[in-house]
Amino acid sequence: MTGTPIRLLLADDHPVVRAGLRAVLETEDGITVVAEAATAEDAVSRAARGDIEVVLMDLQFGKGMNGAEATAAITARADAPRVVIVTTYDTDADILPAIEAGATGYLLKDAPPEDLVAAVRSAATGRTTLAPAVADRLMNRLRMPGTALTRRETEVLALVADGLSNQAIGDRLHLTEGTIKSHLARIYAKLGVDSRTAAVATATELGFIRR
């Protein structure tokens, strides 16, 4: 290939994963890995320098900012690089915040190397690449909007799954306990259940939340 190489930032808290991504991508003409970040905060800081075109971003970094939050911070800037999520998670609770945060692509870590390379090239030109499983989930939401949980409902149910009370969930999300109860009522109706336990079990089975 000719022209200026696509300049990448690899953001993942596992050194082995970063090394694997680097090994795959640096064999490709027209792609160069210029930096790595082990935390989401470092990724935001490094991307802000203005010399990165595409960020490959994990979703979970342990403590601190997560990948979706970092994606939002990165894409909020003028002339921001494109962000492609590369993760093991494919539930609505993971996909929706990342897409809403401005991610251009969303791949799973078991994607073939050629898919990863293609996603980088697509992102550099502003085109979207989604893992097949992710595309299927988004299409199903469009086909059946009445049964899909909203992002807020997904957040509430994920905290229910963590064992938090309605009051604790309200405190965490800065909502009243009554509002949490209203969200739960809508969740129960959408999932066809009548208890917190059944809601968590059904949502987990459907891939709405991760356990």
How many whole angstroms separate alpha carbon 140 and alpha carbon 109?
22
Instruction: Tell me the domain boundaries of the chain.
Output: 6-141, 151-206
Fold for 6-141, please state it. Rossmann fold (3.40.50)
What residue type is assigned to position 173 of the chain?
L
The pLDDT tens digits for 40-88 are 999 999 999 999 999 999 999 988 899 999 999 999 998 899 999 999 9
The confidence score (pLDDT) of residue 142 equals 73
pTM above 0.85, yes or no: no
The confidence score (pLDDT) of residue 1 equals 43
**Exposed (0-12), middle (13-18) or buried (19+): which is 115, by Cβ within 10 Å?**
middle
Fold for 151-206, please state it. Arc Repressor Mutant, subunit A (1.10.10)
Pairing of strands 82-87, 105-108: parallel
How many whole angstroms separate alpha carbon 191 and alpha carbon 70?
31
What residue type is assigned to position 25 of the chain?
L
Distances (CA, A) of 62 to 9, 39, 116, 154, 203: 19, 9, 24, 20, 24
How many whole angstroms separate alpha carbon 133 and alpha carbon 149?
18
The pLDDT tens digits for 149-159 are 888 999 999 99
